[in-house]
């Protein structure tokens, strides 16, 4: 039998650099869980933010260094589930949703059920993404709200409310609604723009570069509120654009 080529054998291994960044996603999620258990919700939210940053880099690094593997894709999904599913649900539950134990629905476990639903929807979202990626390698759009963006909506809301001095029970209603809203959008068929098609390795014109720098400067003014606002608007963009598209098609068909 013919021996596999060296390149084929290398593809079956584990590449260190992208795997380290992927492990950073797992680390941020684990750190967020531990911090939220200690009631340090600001640090917990920073842990999820760290996961988002390294998660946005590992795939790009793998593609730039030509070290993309099936192992890396599966490992990335597992780490994403921990950081953006389990950790995000634990943070919002520990901060606010646990106060729903005073509500007698579901034997006082309404908050836990909402947090579990969010984690389950994250797992379903990641599984569907893997299946669709295997069928079609187009990165033009996402089907459903991406799990990092959903986690950002939930966790940065906690970061904002906690930074403003609110107790979890004071914001339990918006926390529950945002958690449900993000969970259902993840498993919806609503399309979202994918920023993965942006090629950061090419030369960039001065104006886009200046916009990026100014954006980072604005975020640094008040990271919790601005990041929550940005990702909340991104979460809304899918339903809004989908509704506008449906109305345009109906108008064209009627005309």
CATH of the domain at 93: 1.20.120.1760
Averaged pLDDT score across all residues of the chain: 85
Q: Which of 43, 31, 161, 45 is nearest to 96 (CA)?
A: 161
- Record the pTM: 0.86
Q: Which of 87, 98, 114 is nearest to 178 (CA)?
A: 114
Bigger pLDDT: 201 vs 148: 148
The β-bridge partners of 143 are 191
Evaluate whether residue 1 is within a structural domain. no
State residue 143's pLDDT score. 87
Domain with 145 in it: 6-254
Q: Give exposure, 188-202, as e/b (b: 16+ Cβ within 10 Å).
A: bebbbeeeeeeeeee
**Percentage above 90 pLDDT, the chain:** 56
pLDDT tens, 54-95?
Answer: 998 877 787 777 777 788 888 999 999 999 999 999 999 999
pLDDT tens, 122-176?
Answer: 999 999 988 887 665 555 678 899 999 999 999 999 999 999 999 999 999 999 9
* Sole residue written with tokens 């192992």: 71
Evaluate whether residue 150 is within a structural domain. yes
For the segment 24-50, the average pLDDT, to the nearest whole number, is: 96
For the segment 233-238, the average pLDDT, to the nearest whole number, is: 94
Domain count, the chain: 1
Confidence of residue 8 (pLDDT cuts 50, 70, 90): very low
Residue 130 burial by Cβ neighbours in a 10 Å radius (0-12, 13-18, 19+) = middle
Evaluate whether residue 56 is within a structural domain. yes
What is the H or E stretch that residue 143 is in? Answer: strand 141-143
């Amino acid at each position: 039998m013919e021996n596999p080529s060296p390149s084929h054998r290398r593809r079956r291994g584990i590449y260190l650099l992208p795997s380290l960044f992927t492990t950073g996603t797992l680390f941020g999620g684990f750190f967020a869980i531990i911090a939220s258990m200690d009631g340090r919700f600001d640090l917990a939210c920073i842990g999820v933010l760290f996961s988002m940053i390294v998660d946005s880099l590992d795939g790009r690094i793998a593609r730039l260094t030509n070290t993309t593997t099936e192992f890396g894709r599966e490992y990335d999904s597992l780490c994403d589930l921990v950081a953006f599913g389990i950790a995000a649900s634990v943070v919002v539950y520990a901060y606010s949703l646990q106060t729903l134990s005073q509500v007698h629905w579901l034997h006082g476990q309404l908050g836990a059920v909402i947090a579990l639903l969010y984690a389950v929807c994250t797992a379903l979202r990641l599984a569907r993404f893997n299946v669709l990626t295997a069928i079609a390698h187009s990165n033009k759009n996402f089907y459903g709200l991406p799990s990092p963006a959903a986690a950002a909506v939930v966790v940065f809301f906690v970061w904002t409310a906690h930074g403003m001095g609110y107790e979890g029970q004071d914001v339990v209603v918006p926390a529950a609604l945002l958690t449900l809203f993000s969970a259902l959008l993840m498993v919806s068929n609503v399309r979202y723009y994918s920023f993965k098609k942006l090629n950061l390795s090419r030369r960039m014109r001065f104006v886009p570069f200046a916009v990026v720098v100014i954006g980072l400067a604005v975020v640094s003014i008040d990271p919790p509120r601005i990041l929550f606002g940005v990702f909340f608007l991104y979460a809304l963009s899918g339903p809004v654009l989908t509704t506008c598209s449906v109305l345009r098609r109906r108008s064209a068909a009627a005309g």
